[in-house]
């Protein structure tokens, strides 16, 4: 797998659009089953635009152009390794990235292309149990949508399962469901547009927008099966069940990219880490503290977790009192998750590491 580069994955087919194009005209392109457009100002690449980025912007399509909703993305060099490319997909949470050659856009990499290439590697044969997240968040199906949104924000997750009166799972709701089924329609009404009479409000029960029946795979099935399902069903997550058909976890597209990174040839350290920062001022980050915390984690648990372990750090910071750090450690001993919030990146990072250590210790105790 280490011999694969971006040029081996990319497609030369991609849609171009001028930055001055109106959002209304851009939406016509997406109705023709296009999912992304690369935005140019004459010959200069400016970023990408997707139907989702337009929906989330909440701009009036008639009075704004694409320049208002363009998303800046990193670019992938045609000779860049598969591991570096996967890392960029994780860090940006984008599913499309432009490929450069001699500083010119020559192609596009997306999930489909990546997962097709994944099928021919040893990673594809790994079991879903090795990458799934076990700590699922549940809400009563009668819980207001607004409360569920708060639960997502507090737990830094984008999916929550709903339960009925018998404590049985009755559906799954994603943040995208809230945006497309509640927020966006209400914006359209505010602009005087006609929408479905059954439009939901934030006070509606979450079951009204949840998805059912649930899509599941067995924990013993392979990553390749999950990749095929994502592509066939056009979904970004699948629930994992055990041999008794009990839900025990969830696997997302991001987990597949994490699995690729986990198979990166090990360097001197037995653990790697990837930082994905949103709104965090990189100049204020004390790299020495981060390295010290990471070195301590490797020193204490590196041999137990095994070579190839990767710690993914997802951080958001809106202010010193509005922040969130979520850590996900993928290892041969399983997946560990810890969070900390609202104390600033440095404090939350340290706190999340401490909580991560507590989880590893508990796992060690259970296995002894």
What confidence score (pLDDT) does residue 227 get? 92
Domains 6-118 and 128-256 share a fold: yes
Helices and strands: H and E segment counts in the chain? 12, 16
Q: What is the pTM of this model?
A: 0.74
Q: Report the C-alpha gap between 173 and 226 in whole angstroms.
A: 19
Q: Could you give the 3-state DSSP secondary structure of residue 320?
A: coil
Q: What is the pLDDT of residues 275-308, one digit of tens each?
A: 777 777 777 777 788 888 877 887 888 878 877 7
DSSP conformation letters of 240-304: EE-TT--EEEEEEHHHHHHHHHHTSPP-SSSEEEEEEEES--GGG--HHHHHHHHHHHHHHHHHH
The pairs formed by 189-193 with CB atoms below 8 angstroms and a separation of 24 or more are 191/60
Lowest-pLDDT choice from 95-104, 231-240, 312-321: 312-321
Query: What is the reported pLDDT for 175?
Result: 87
Could you tell me which CATH class the domain 128-256 is placed in? alpha beta
* Third-level CATH fold of 266-367: Double Stranded RNA Binding Domain (3.30.160)
Q: What is the pLDDT of residue 109?
A: 92
Nearest 5°: the CA angle 259, 292, 307 is 30
What is the C-alpha separation between 357 and 353, in angstroms, rounded? 6
Length of the chain: 368
Q: Which two tokens stand for residue 181?
A: 């089924």
- The answer to whether the bond into 213 is cis (omega within 30° of 0) is yes
Q: How many angstroms separate the Cα of 201 from the Cα of each of 172, 189, 193, 299?
A: 18, 12, 16, 50
Domain ranges for the chain, please list them: 6-118, 128-256, 266-367
Does the domain at 6-118 match CATH 2.40.50.140? Answer given as: no
Predicted pLDDT at 31: 75
Using pLDDT thresholds of 50, 70 and 90, give the confidence band for residue 100. Answer: very high
Q: Is it the case that residue 188 has pLDDT exceeding 60?
A: no
Q: How confident is the model at residue 139 (pLDDT cuts 50, 70, 90)?
A: very high
């Amino acid at each position: 797998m280490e011999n694969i580069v971006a040029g081996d994955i990319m497609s030369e087919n991609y849609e171009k659009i001028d930055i001055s194009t109106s959002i209304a005209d851009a939406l016509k392109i997406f109705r023709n089953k296009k999912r992304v457009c690369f935005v140019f100002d004459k010959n200069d690449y400016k970023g990408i635009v997707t139907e989702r980025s337009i929906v989330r912007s909440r701009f009036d399509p008639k009075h704004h152009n694409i320049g208002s909703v363009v998303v800046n993305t990193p670019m992938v060099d045609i000779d860049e390794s598969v591991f570096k490319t996967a890392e960029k997909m994780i860090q940006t949470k984008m599913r499309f990235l432009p490929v450069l050659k001699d500083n010119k856009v020559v192609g596009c990499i997306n999930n489909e292309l990546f997962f097709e290439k994944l099928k021919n590697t040893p990673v594809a044969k790994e079991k879903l149990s090795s990458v799934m997240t076990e700590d699922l968040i549940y809400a009563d199906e009668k819980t207001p949508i607004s409360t569920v949104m708060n639960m997502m924000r507090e737990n830094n997750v984008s999916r929550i399962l709903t339960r009925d009166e018998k404590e049985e799972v009755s559906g799954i709701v994603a943040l995208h469901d809230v945006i497309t089924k509640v927020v966006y329609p209400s914006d359209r009404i505010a602009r005087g547009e006609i929408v479905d009479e059954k439009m939901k409000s934030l006070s509606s029960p979450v079951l009204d927008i949840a998805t059912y029946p649930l899509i599941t795979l067995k924990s013993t099935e392979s990553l390749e099966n999950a990749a095929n399902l994502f592509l066939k069903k056009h979904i970004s997550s699948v629930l994992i069940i055990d041999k008794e058909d009990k839900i025990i976890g969830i696997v997302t597209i991001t987990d597949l990219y994490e699995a690729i990174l986990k198979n990166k040839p090990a360097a001197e350290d037995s653990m790697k880490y990837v930082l994905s920062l949103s709104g965090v001022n990189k100049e204020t980050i004390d790299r020495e503290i981060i390295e010290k915390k990471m070195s301590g984690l490797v020193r204490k648990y590196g041999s137990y977790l095994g070579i190839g372990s990767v710690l993914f750090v997802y951080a958001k910071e809106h202010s010193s009192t509005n922040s969130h750090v979520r850590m996900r450690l993928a290892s041969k001993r399983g997946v560990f998750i810890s969070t900390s919030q609202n104390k600033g990146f440095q404090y939350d990072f340290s706190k999340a590491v401490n909580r991560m250590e507590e989880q590893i210790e508990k796992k060690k105790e259970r296995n002894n």
